[in-house]
């Protein structure tokens, strides 16, 4: 419509002295452009309906092949090739539609103006399109060679990177360096060959799009003598420069880059794709290990104890319970590897009330809390009634022990008739904390630390999804320090989200101090990896979780303990305004950590909350929380966090391992591998 309207505006309007007619035809040309814009917008909205289902099917096929064949090159398929297929298919749909409709419309318009114009425009256009079509197959071969080299390099690096420690230990650095260099050179040569063949696109575009303009200029005298009017000649230039040339340019660059790439990627992504799995679950073999379902109360075959089924750990061994030597500070209740003899009641491991904290003596030890000592043990708040313990079944009377042990959790299923374990040597003392000024005493007595109990905790993100947590049971006594480790994406953050009640368990229950997790909001504080800082003063950010006003000296004390005092002085003190956008990620994490440290919540959940801090700052912050009265759970970002903890929980899907750092180095291959990777990266 554009070229035809311009021709009529010139011949029947302006050249004939009829300005109104000429302006009218120009208005028709503008209306045609607007109508084409509306149609193009509708096409863009429909492209997603074609592209996204293709992407989903390709991702499903790549994941199935990677899981079935353990293909390390599947990473390249997911991160690069699937996105290439998605983008190129969308581009192919758009440029093909544009070229077909635009070229047909332009050729029809040229024929309607003067058939002689097709003699000048159509041959070079057809020659350019034909040349481009002939180069598509060589381009596809070069594209496939490049992708093959990229996959080989990705598979090689996927093998080399996890084994850097072994390579260094074997002295194979030179061999690995040479093999890696060969693969990098092969990928470089493939990319250069692909670039050389891409030059043919420029030649095809010059012949099919630029040459018709030159020929129209050269044949203008001849065309004017063969019934071609000046308006028709101007319309022909408009059709070639405004319609055919842009459409051909999009086709050449789109198909030249996208078409050949899409062909190769689809061929590689769909090669040997396994069939879709049967949605009906297959019956488990008779000799396959199975997880014992939770027993109802009153069953005495197994005590209802916290348990961790882990194939990575060694078989259960008779291990004496770990007992802490007497210390001057309030003792930390470390769960032993096996329980001492106790009642067979299934409720014996789930305390309904929190045991009172012992009265600390005046002398300070290695774990002196920042809160002052109280001459009387803390008691529950009057506003929170203490639940009445459920009466246990009658048991034969036994002589009372002079020092009854506190309620503890276990990490292995005990035998039905456990035998008393002999005491083991005391564990080595924790290294002293870094020397920094101790904060002044807090003015208010801290809330008693609660007992955290997970009972048959199961969670899955969908009805058909594999559970991230599968019947996990654990009891953490007051004052425990637990570090959670595991591969990325295994469910560590999911566990903290469940404890913080931001997610709801599929099965099981979570209790904090005998109360359900959703009802214990005041007893916990979660610090995620992405720290939240809002616009306001620094004091408002730090006291956001405190129900009562906090004196300025306590703000400085908390900042000094966590390691934020220097940042507070730099910002101008507690009452200085804070701009979150002007802070680094590490500075925001320090503010969030200090906010949680000052909160009265006795259960702190650090979900990689120190990931943007250096090791020294991370150690100082974690030690401050460890010395703070309460229970601490840390999702580890570095191996040092696991070494500092009393106990470590290793997550590996539905399986877990539990113990001290030294015990897990001996019993858990996954933990040894994680420690090795952390050590190699540091």
Cα–Cα distance between 307 and 271 in angstroms, integer? Answer: 44
Cα–Cα distance between 110 and 107 in angstroms, integer? Answer: 5
∠ CA 539-542-548 to the nearest 5 degrees?
Answer: 85
Answer whether residue 432 is part of any domain.
Answer: no
Token pair listed for 18: 């009829």
Token pair listed for 578: 């804070």
Question: Do 653 and 138 form a contact (C-beta atoms < 8 A)?
Answer: no
Answer whether residue 385 is part of any domain.
Answer: no
Answer whether residue 355 is part of any domain.
Answer: no
Residue 629, domain extent: 479-488+520-681
Question: Do 144 and 191 form a contact (C-beta atoms < 8 A)?
Answer: no
The pLDDT, as a whole number, for residue 450 is 66
List of residues 6+ apart from 445 with CB closer than 8 A: 371, 372, 374, 378
Cα–Cα distance between 61 and 82 in angstroms, integer? Answer: 10
What is the 3-state secondary structure of 91-122?
A: HHHHHHHHHHHHHHHHHHHHHHHCCHHHHHHH
Answer whether residue 422 is part of any domain.
Answer: no
- The most distant pair of C-alpha atoms in the chain lies apart, rounded to whole Å, by 125
Question: Do 434 and 363 form a contact (C-beta atoms < 8 A)?
Answer: no
Three-class secondary structure of residue 1 per DSSP: coil
| Number of domains into which the chain is organized | 2
CATH of residue 199's domain is 1.20.1560.10
Answer whether residue 326 is part of any domain.
Answer: no
CATH of residue 604's domain is 3.40.50.300
Please name the helix (run of DSSP H) or strand (run of DSSP E) that holds residue 511, with its range, or none.
strand 507-512
Taking only the tens place, the pLDDT of each residue in 174-195 is 889 999 999 999 999 988 888 8
Could you give the C-alpha distances from 641 to 353, 481, 649, 650, in angstroms and in order?
30, 10, 12, 13
Query: End of a domain among 226, 254, 269?
Result: 269
∠ CA 443-448-452 to the nearest 5 degrees?
Answer: 145
Token pair listed for 542: 């730090």
Answer whether residue 457 is part of any domain.
Answer: no
Instruction: Quote the DSSP letter at residue 353.
Output: S
Could you give the C-alpha distances from 558 to 432, 440, 523, 525, 623, in angstroms and in order?
19, 9, 19, 16, 13
Query: End of a domain among 247, 269, 291?
Result: 269
| pTM (two decimals) | 0.43
Cα–Cα distance between 420 and 401 in angstroms, integer? Answer: 13
Answer whether residue 497 is part of any domain.
Answer: no
Residue (of 244, 655, 574, 236) closest to 411 by Cα position:
655
List of residues 6+ apart from 511 with CB closer than 8 A: 350, 451, 452, 453, 455, 517, 520
Residue (of 523, 548, 540) closest to 629 by Cα position:
523
Answer whether residue 469 is part of any domain.
Answer: no
Residue (of 438, 374, 363, 453) closest to 407 by Cα position:
453
Query: End of a domain among 240, 269, 298?
Result: 269
**Phi, psi (5° rounding) for residue 412?**
-150, 155
Question: Do 661 and 485 form a contact (C-beta atoms < 8 A)?
Answer: no
Alpha-carbon Rg for the chain in angstroms? 36
Residues of the chain short of pLDDT 50, as ranges, are 273-446
């Amino acid at each position: 419509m554009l070229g035809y309207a311009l021709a009529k505006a010139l011949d029947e309007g302006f050249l004939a002295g009829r300005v109104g007619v000429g302006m009218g035809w120009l208005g028709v040309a503008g209306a045609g452009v607007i109508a084409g814009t509306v149609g193009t917008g509708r096409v863009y909205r429909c492209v997603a309906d074609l592209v996204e289902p293709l992407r989903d099917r390709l991702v499903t096929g790549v994941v199935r092949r990677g899981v079935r064949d353990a293909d390390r090159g599947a990473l390249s398929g997911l991160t690069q090739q699937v996105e290439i297929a998605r983008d190129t298919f969308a581009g192919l749909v758009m440029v093909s539609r544009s070229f077909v409709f635009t070229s047909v419309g332009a050729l029809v318009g040229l024929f309607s103006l003067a058939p002689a114009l097709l003699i000048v425009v159509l041959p070079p256009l057809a020659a350019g399109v034909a040349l481009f079509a002939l180069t598509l197959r060589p381009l596809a071969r070069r594209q496939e060679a490049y992708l093959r080299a990229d996959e080989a390099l990705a598979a090689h690096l996927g093998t080399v990177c996890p084994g850097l420690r072994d390579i260094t230990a074997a002295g194979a650095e030179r061999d690995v360096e040479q093999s890696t260099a060969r693969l990098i050179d092969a990928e470089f040569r493939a990319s250069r060959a692909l670039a050389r063949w891409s030059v043919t696109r420029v030649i095809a575009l010059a012949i099919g799009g630029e040459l018709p303009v030159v020929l129209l200029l050269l044949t203008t005298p001849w065309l004017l003598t063969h019934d071609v009017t000046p308006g028709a000649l101007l319309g022909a230039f408009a059709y070639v420069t405004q319609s055919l040339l842009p459409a051909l340019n999009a086709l050449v660059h789109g198909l030249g880059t996208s078409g050949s790439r899409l062909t190769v990627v689809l061929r590689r992504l769909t090669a040997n794709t396994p069939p879709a799995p049967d949605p009906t679950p297959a019956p488990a073999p008779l000799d396959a290990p199975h997880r014992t379902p939770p027993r109802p109360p009153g069953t005495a075959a197994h005590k209802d104890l916290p348990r961790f089924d882990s194939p990575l750990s060694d078989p259960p061994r008779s291990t004496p319970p770990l007992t802490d030597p007497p210390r001057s500070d309030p003792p930390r209740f470390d769960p032993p590897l096996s329980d001492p003899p106790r009642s067979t009641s299934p409720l014996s491991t789930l305390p309904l009330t929190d045991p009172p904290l012992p009265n600390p003596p005046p002398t300070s030890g290695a774990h002196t809390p920042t809160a002052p000592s109280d001459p009387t043990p803390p008691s529950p708040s009057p506003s929170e009634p203490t639940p009445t313990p459920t009466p246990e079944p009658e048991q034969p009377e036994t002589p009372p022990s002079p020092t009854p042990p506190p309620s503890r959790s276990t990490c292995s299923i005990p035998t039905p008739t456990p035998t008393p374990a002999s005491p083991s040597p005391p564990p080595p003392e924790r290294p002293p904390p870094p020397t920094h000024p101790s904060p002044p005493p807090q003015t208010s007595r801290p809330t008693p630390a609660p007992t955290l109990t997970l009972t048959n905790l199961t969670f899955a993100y969908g009805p058909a999804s594999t559970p991230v947590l599968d019947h996990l049971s654990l009891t953490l006594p007051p004052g425990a320090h637990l570090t959670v480790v595991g591969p990325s994406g295994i469910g560590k953050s999911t566990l903290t989200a469940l404890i913080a009640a931001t997610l709801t368990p599929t099965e099981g229950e979570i209790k904090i101090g005998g109360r359900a997790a959703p009802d214990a909001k005041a007893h916990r504080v979660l610090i995620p990896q992405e720290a939240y800082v809002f616009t306001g003063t620094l004091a408002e950010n730090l006291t956001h979780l405190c129900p009562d006003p906090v004196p300025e000296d306590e703000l400085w004390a908390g900042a000094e303990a966590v390691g934020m005092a220097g940042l507070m002085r730099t910002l101008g003190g507690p009452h200085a305004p804070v701009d979150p956008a002007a802070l680094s990620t590490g500075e925001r994490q320090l503010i969030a950590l200090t906010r949680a440290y000052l909160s009265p919540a006795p259960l702190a959940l650090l979900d990689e909350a120190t990931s943007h801090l250096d090791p020294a700052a991370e150690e100082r912050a974690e030690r401050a929380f460890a010395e703070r009265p309460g229970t601490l759970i840390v999702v580890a970002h570095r191996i040092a966090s696991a070494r500092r903890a009393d106990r470590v929980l290793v997550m590996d899907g539905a399986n877990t391992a539990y113990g001290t750092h030294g015990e897990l180095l001996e019993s858990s291959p996954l933990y040894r591998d994680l420690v090795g990777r952390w050590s190699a990266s540091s």
